[in-house]
Chains A and B, each alone.
Chain A
Amino acid sequence: MKDVNIIPLFVIIPLLTAFLIALLGKTIKNFSEKIIVASSSLLLAFSLYSQILLRHTPLKTLVYNVGGWLPPFGISMVLDGLSSFMLIVVNLIAFFVAVYSLSYMEKYTDKPKFFTLFALMVSGLNGVIVTGDIFNLFVFLEIASIASYALVAFGTQAEELEASFKYTIMGTVASSFIFLGIVFLYGFASTLNMAHMASVLNSKLSIWLLPFVSVLFLAGFSLKAAMVPFHGWLPDAHSSAPASISAMLSGVLIKTLGIYAMMRIFFNVLGITQAQLSILMFLGSLSIITGAILAFSQWDFKRLLAYSTISQVGYIVLGLGLGTPLGIFGALFHLFNHSVFKSLLFLNSGAVDYAASTRDLRETGGLNKVMPVTTKTNFIASMSISGIPPFSGFFSKLIIIFACIQKGHIGYGLCAVIGSILTLIYFMKLQKFVFLGELKDKFKQIAEVPYLMRFSMICLAAICILAGFLLLPALRPFLDRASDVLLGGTNYAAAVMGAALR
């Protein structure tokens, strides 16, 4: 098999899975479970393999031309350091979430439908990551979004439907902004291929177009990434969805649709300006503080985590907004870490919900006596997200704060530090009210969750502990290659064109 041929598989495998489950899931017993695990482990293997491929590729870029049409005429699919990094993040979390859902979704009816939507969402996410065509990006973004709208409403209770409705409206508004931006760009550059578009924009000047389009994109992607003040939909949506889907939404969906797409378009296609960077820094810091304060006041396990997502995504955006190598490196590292620990935290909330049937912090307490595994994984994730060494979150926050200071932004550095303290505070609150204290009588009978759920949680917790090793020289290329793509800026065009013609 030629190397580049694995690129479309990232979209085809989950799409096929979705199709097969929809077709046969009801008729063959346990078909959906088997095939979803098979496909997500295959995807994980392929994404890890993509790292090995890239190491031996000269330009660190692989391009698959759909139908053999060369760019700028055909649609191309691009695998470079950044997309490979994101693929690993998405498929890693998707794999563990899929395994977890096998047991967790027992309490909902109709598993096949769930896994159909799940596979569809994964294919949308992978599509956004590998595509090299801006209109394709929009299409995949919509596939992932629509699947997630349906998944948020999966429980079909009043609360879930309301959340899904809000999420749909605001998501659609975001999509329209993004779509409008793409329309303007197409009208101006007469091309949809992102690499080609980048080189056209470089040579053709327009006074009003780029700022105008960048406002549309910034607003659209900030809505998708739930930056304050565009975050209104997130707490409802992330807390109402089934826990495994919340893990996907918080862990990878808003990062792929919001952060990744924004990075790709701003850094690699439009070429980011200082004003835009400053806005990103500001929005990031605002999100860090606002999200953290709101998280502190929550009494619902998942809602607390949802606000915490807003706060933590702020760190990623702050790091990106610095625009320095260290800042971007830290942002990507934090992106990886946050995917792991936030999915883990949502899975833990699911485990508590599964065992104790409540998410209200005022009702739980003392669960460490009956759920030892969940207690430990939750503790590891909480310490990691609060930036306590030696867990992963400490290192990424450290890098981001160092990057802030290095660029002379003491104020933003202080914001990051305060955010970190607040994070510690509200996670200690979570720890106290859920797992410590007196065990109530009605919870004396509950048992630890089934082993498939424990398996996912333990693996993710292990990654939380070990992720710090990604900074070792032997493993650093994983992050370095990704940040190099962003630092290269619009050199992306040359890299993709070069790789496509080879």
Chain B
Amino acid sequence: MTTSRFYPLLRLDALNSFVVLAIALFSALTIIYSLKFIKEKRLQYYTYIILTAFASIGVVLANNLILLLVFWGFLGLTLYLLVSMGQGSTDAAKKTLIIVGGSDALMLLGVAIIYFLTDTFYLDAIRLEFNSSLAVISYICIALACFAKAGAIPLHTWIPDAAKSAPAPVAAFLPASLDKLLGIYLLARLNLDLFTMNTAMNTFLMVIGAVTIITAVMMALVQHNLKRLLGYHAVSQVGYMVLGIGTGNPIGIAGGIFHMLNHAVYKSCLFFTAGNIEYRAKTSELDELGGLAKLMPVTYISCLVASFSISGVPPFNGFFSKWMIYQGLVTQLQSADYRIQAINILCLAAAMFGSGLTLASFMKLIHAAFLGQPNNALIRRSLQGGHKDEVPFSMWLPPLILAVICVVFGVFAYQIPLRVFIFPAVPGVDFIGTWFAGLSTLLIASGLVLGLFIFRSRGLGSFIRQDAAFMGCEPEDLDKHRITGIEFYNTIKEYGILKGIYQKAESGVYDIYEQVKKVLSGAGRFLQYLHNGVLPSYLIWALLGMIGLFLILMKG
């Protein structure tokens, strides 16, 4: 092993080297994308982007906890500054910094406890057992900071808001890719290197992961805003990563880390395409979109690939990493304790169900944005023009590159990402099921080609008759009865228990941020009631305080 001059401060190993590569890739793509997208305050914007990239690499390479803490906290600041560049993003930016910055303070506490227990700041010298409550507290503090950064329950609530209000490349850059990479990287580092995990802590992680998957995807189903919907998926997918890492066996952890990488790829791609849509249609409300597939074919293809990928459709990369996580869970089923088995089965069910719901909500997205009929004057005018109206080159290239990566990482999963990046980081991965990615892809592709062939040659088209629409014997304008896609799945809001839950979710009952605000203003009102501005009462407090001092100090 060669030692660099920076050694005790910075360290490069198998786990962080590919994260650095990914950060560099996403920074480059984001900058390319932003060239045309960002039109004002360019100097500030690029300064913040580059500072963010720099600090992220700092976090990943840091081998000193204090250094890590400084870079980590600094990222919260740049995140705030970037989010607040969006239109009307004041509240979202505020919420973002409060949640992320607040969790940084918790992380500080965790780091302080680790230092107290081990007397060292160097990550490679720390190895803690969960044999005292202090160790548990420190783990939870740092894990919460990871959850806040990556966006797992209960600290995820900033992501949908920030994703909606931030400029699209920022959403693609930070909440979608970099923050996931960093949060999950640190979590993996905690679990693999800093702490020796035990069953209880692993179960804790798995439950967090499973709950995150389900709740976030249920919220995603009913969203009406494209970027907000993607934001909820950004939360939901974190659940898979946490779940994978929580399984505690090599294949699960490898799956979690691979999923982190994959997620960064496809979610960035999705946010870039959302940015393209917003750039053309000047809105990201699903209600007003539609019919963009003809207009922006490249964007459509990229978005479609990324949607399949996130929904876990083979042979794309999202499927592969989810499949590894499932294997991790199945391996865990061999555990002797029946309670662990039960939790595993529940988590497995949640993960698979979540995957299905993800597909469902992406069908809604694809329909509402790219298919269907538009309700937007801008899009209609372009459609009537009859020609393609793709976004500028620098804006369709980054999502296309990412879509290609989605395919490559899925088809050649063993050959490229796993062999080069993941296996060196997590030794001892043992597949219990086999998936011949190449063969399957071949079969899927040939099936599709065959289908196309049948469609073309036998002329299925002849069975399809297109005619004007009638209602009550009157011809009807189809555009008036357009199916926007936002009504999809709205009925789940009406089902018994779910009804109440959705109502509460929409009024922020499950949002820790809103709850803290409520508690604080309650406490504030009480204290303000005490501070009545009357001098004698202030004097009485001082007197009482002094009596207290007398009682304590004169006792001995």
Q: Tell me how far the C-beta of B424 lies from the nearest C-beta in chain A, rounded to whole angstroms.
A: 32
Enumerate B518-556 residues with CB–CB distance to A below 8 Å.
Answer: 520-521, 523-525, 527-528, 531, 533, 535, 537-539, 541-542, 544-546, 549-550, 552-554, 556
* Neighbouring B residues of A215 by C-beta, 8 Å: 546, 549-550, 553-554
CB of B101 within 8 Å of the partner chain: yes
Residue of A nearest to B553 (CB): A211
Interchain CA distance A223-B542 in the complex, whole Å: 8
Assembly CA distance A276 to B541 (angstroms): 20
* Inter-subunit contact B113/A296 (CB<8 Å): no
Of the candidates B516, B538, B556, which one forms a contact with A211 in the assembled complex, judged by CB atoms under 8 Å apart?
B556
Whole-angstrom CA separation of A413 from B134 in the bound complex: 13
Once A421-B102, A432-B91 are accepted as A-B contacts, the answer to whether A232 and B537 lie under 8 Å apart by CB is yes
Question: Considering only CB atoms, which chain A residue lies closest to B523 in the complex?
Answer: A293
**Complex Cα spacing A484 to B289, Å:** 68
Asked whether any CB of chain B lies closer than 8 Å to the CB of A62, the reply is no
| Contact of B98 with A428 in the complex, beta carbons under 8 Å | yes
Interface string of A408-421 (1 = CB under 8 A from B): 10100110010011
Residues 454-471 of chain B, each 1 if its beta carbon lies under 8 Å from chain A, else 0: 000000000000000000
Per-position binary interface string of chain A over residues 433-450, scored 1 when its CB falls under 8 Å from any chain B CB and 0 otherwise: 000110000000000000
Q: What residues of chain A lie closer than 8 Å to B546, measured between beta carbons?
A: 177, 215, 219
Q: Select from chain B the residue with minimum beta-carbon distance to A169.
A: B535
A276 and B84 contact, Cβ closer than 8 Å, known pairs A236-B533, A388-B73: no
Complex contact A437–B90 (CB within 8 A): yes
Given the known interface contacts A173-B539, A219-B549, A388-B77, the answer about A405 and B113 at a Cβ–Cβ threshold of 8 Å is yes
Do the beta carbons of B74 and A389 come within 8 Å of each other? Answer: yes
Instruction: Give Cα distance in the complex from A165 to B536, angstroms.
Output: 12
Interface string of A222-238 (1 = CB under 8 A from B): 11000001101101100
Q: How far is the CA of A404 from the CA of B554 in the complex (A)?
A: 26
**CA distance in complex: A290, B521 (Å):** 12
Query: Which of chain B's residues have a CB closer than 8 A to the CB of A386?
Result: 101
Question: In the docked arrangement, what's the CA distance between A235 and B528, Å?
Answer: 12
Stretch among B12-20, B104-112, B177-185, B195-203 lining the A interface: B104-112
Closest residue of A by beta carbon distance from B107: A417
From A173, A425, A428, give the contact of B520 (CB < 8 A): A425
> Is A293 touching B520 in the complex (CB atoms < 8 A)?
yes
- In the complex, A457→B441 CA distance in Å? 64
* A440 CB to nearest B CB, Å: 15
CB within 8 A of A218: which of B90, B104, B549? B549
Contacts of A422 in B (CB 8 A): 520
Cα of A402 to Cα of B554 in the assembled complex, Å:
32
Q: Is there contact, CB below 8 Å, between A431 and B531?
A: no
Name the contact of A219 in the complex, choosing from B102, B545, B554, B556 (C-beta under 8 A). Answer: B545
Cα A235 to Cα B532 in complex, Å, equals: 12
Residue of A nearest to B544 (CB): A229
Q: Could you tell me if B545 and A294 are in contact, using CB atoms closer than 8 angstroms?
A: no
In the complex, what distance in Å separates the CA atom of A230 from the CA atom of B545?
Answer: 7
User: Are B109 and A405 in contact, with the CB atoms below 8 A?
Assistant: yes
Cβ-defined partner of B106 (8 Å) among A169, A223, A417, A437: A417
CB-CB under 8 A from A279, the residues of chain B are: 549, 552-553
B94 contacts the other chain (Cβ, under 8 Å)? yes
Give every chain A residue within 8 A of B525 (Cβ-Cβ): 297
A428 vs B98: C-alpha distance when bound (angstroms): 7
CB of B488 within 8 Å of the partner chain: no
Q: Which residues of the other chain, A, contact B70 by a CB distance below 8 angstroms? A: 389-390, 394
Are B105 and A420 interface neighbours, CB within 8 A? yes
Chain A residues whose CB sits within 8 angstroms of the CB of B535 once the complex forms: 165-166, 169-170, 232
Contact A211 B105 (CB under 8 A): no
Interface size band for A: 35 or more
Quick one: which of B57-72 are within 8 Å of A by CB? 66, 69-71
Q: Which residue of B lies closest to A297 (CB)?
A: B524
Cross-interface CB contact of B553 among A214, A223, A401, cutoff 8 Å: A214
Contact assessment for A417 and B520 in the assembled complex, using a CB-CB cutoff below 8 Å: no
- The residue that B541 contacts in the complex, of A230, A235, A275, A432, with Cβ under 8 A, is A230
Q: Which of B497-526 contact A (CB under 8 A)?
A: 516-517, 520-521, 523-525
**Residue pair A222, B545 in contact (C-beta under 8 Å):** yes
Is the Cβ of B97 less than 8 Å from the Cβ of A389?
no
| Residue A212 interfacial (CB < 8 Å) | yes
Contact with A along B146-173 (1 / 0, CB 8 A): 0000000000000000000000000000
B105 adjacent to A387 (CB under 8 Å) = yes
Report if A406 contacts B (CB, 8 A): yes
Please state if A229 and B545 are interface contacts (CB–CB under 8 Å): yes
B523 contacts which chain A residues (CB < 8 A)?
293
State how many angstroms separate the Cβ of A315 from the closest Cβ of chain B. Answer: 13
A398 at the interface (CB under 8 A from B): yes
Cβ–Cβ < 8 Å partners of B84 in chain A: 436
Say whether B412 faces chain A, with CB atoms less than 8 Å apart: no
Report the minimum CB–CB distance from A317 to chain B (whole Å): 14
Tell me whether A431 and B105 are in contact (CB under 8 A). no
Of chain B, the residue at the smallest CB distance from A405 is B112
Separation of A101 and B100 alpha carbons in the complex (Å): 38
Main SS at interface, chain B: helix
Instruction: Choose one: A211, A223, A293, A406; the contact of B554 (CB below 8 Å).
Output: A211
* Contact indicator B541/A232 (Cβ below 8 Å): yes
**B54 interface contact, C-beta 8 A:** no
- Pair B554/A212 contact, Cβ less than 8 Å: yes
Q: Whose C-beta in chain B lies nearest to the C-beta of A166?
A: B535
Quick check: B113 and A390 within 8 Å, CB to CB? Answer: no
Q: A211-B554, A401-B109, A421-B102 are in contact. Are A170 and B539 (CB under 8 A)?
A: yes
Closest residue of chain A to B93 (Cβ to Cβ) is A436
Q: How far is the CA of A324 from the CA of B554 in the complex (A)?
A: 24
Contact A170 B538 (CB under 8 A): yes
Is the C-beta of A208 less than 8 angstroms from some C-beta in chain B? yes
Give the CA-CA distance A166 to B66 in the complex, in Å. Answer: 45
Q: When the two chains form their complex, are residues A296 and B521 in contact, meaning their CB atoms are under 8 A apart?
A: yes
Residues of A near B517 (CB, < 8 A) are: 425
Decide: A294 and B524 in contact? CB cutoff 8 A.
yes
Residue A15 interfacial (CB < 8 Å) = no
Cβ of B116 < 8 Å from any Cβ of A? yes
Report how far A437 CA is from B69 CA in the complex, Å. Answer: 31
The one of B104, B531, B556 in contact with A232, judged by C-beta atoms closer than 8 angstroms, is: B531
Contact with A along B381-408 (1 / 0, CB 8 A): 0000000000000000000000000000
Residues of B within 8 A of A437 (CB): 90
**Does B137 have its Cβ within 8 Å of any Cβ on chain A?**
yes
Residues of the A chain whose Cβ atoms lie less than 8 Å from the Cβ of B109: 401, 405, 413-414, 417
- Does A134 count as interface, using CB distance less than 8 angstroms? no
Distance from A330 Cβ to chain B, minimum over Cβ atoms (Å): 12
Does B531 contact A410, Cβ atoms closer than 8 Å? no
| Complex CA distance for A165 and B66, rounded to whole angstroms | 47
Return the chain B residue nearest A437 by Cβ. B90
Q: Chain B residues near A233 (CB, 8 Å)?
A: 538
Chain B residues near A223 (CB, 8 Å)? 542
Q: How far is the CB of B145 from chain A (nearest CB, A)?
A: 12
A44 interface residue, CB < 8 Å from B? no
Q: Which residues of chain B are within 8 angstroms of A211 by Cβ–Cβ distance?
A: 553-554, 556
- CB of B279 within 8 Å of the partner chain: no
Docked Cα-Cα span, A401 to B553, in Å, equals 26
CB-CB under 8 A for A413 and B112, given A215-B553, A230-B542: yes
Q: Would you give the shortest CB distance from B338 to chain A, in whole angstroms? A: 36
Decide if A119 is an interface residue (CB 8 Å cutoff): no
Sample of 4 more A-B contacts, CB < 8 Å, known A232-B541, A402-B112: A279-B549, A297-B520, A389-B69, A405-B109
For the complex of A and B, 5 pairs with smallest distance between CB atoms: A232-B538, A297-B524, A421-B102, A389-B73, A405-B112
Which B residues have a C-beta under 8 Å from some C-beta of A? Answer: 66, 69-71, 73-74, 76-77, 84, 90-91, 94, 97-98, 101-102, 104-106, 108-109, 112-113, 115-116, 134, 137, 516-517, 520-521, 523-525, 527-528, 531, 533, 535, 537-539, 541-542, 544-546, 549-550, 552-554, 556
- Sample of 16 A–B contacts (CB below 8 Å): A214-B553, A229-B545, A232-B541, A275-B556, A293-B527, A294-B524, A297-B521, A383-B77, A388-B101, A389-B73, A405-B113, A405-B115, A417-B108, A424-B101, A425-B516, A429-B94
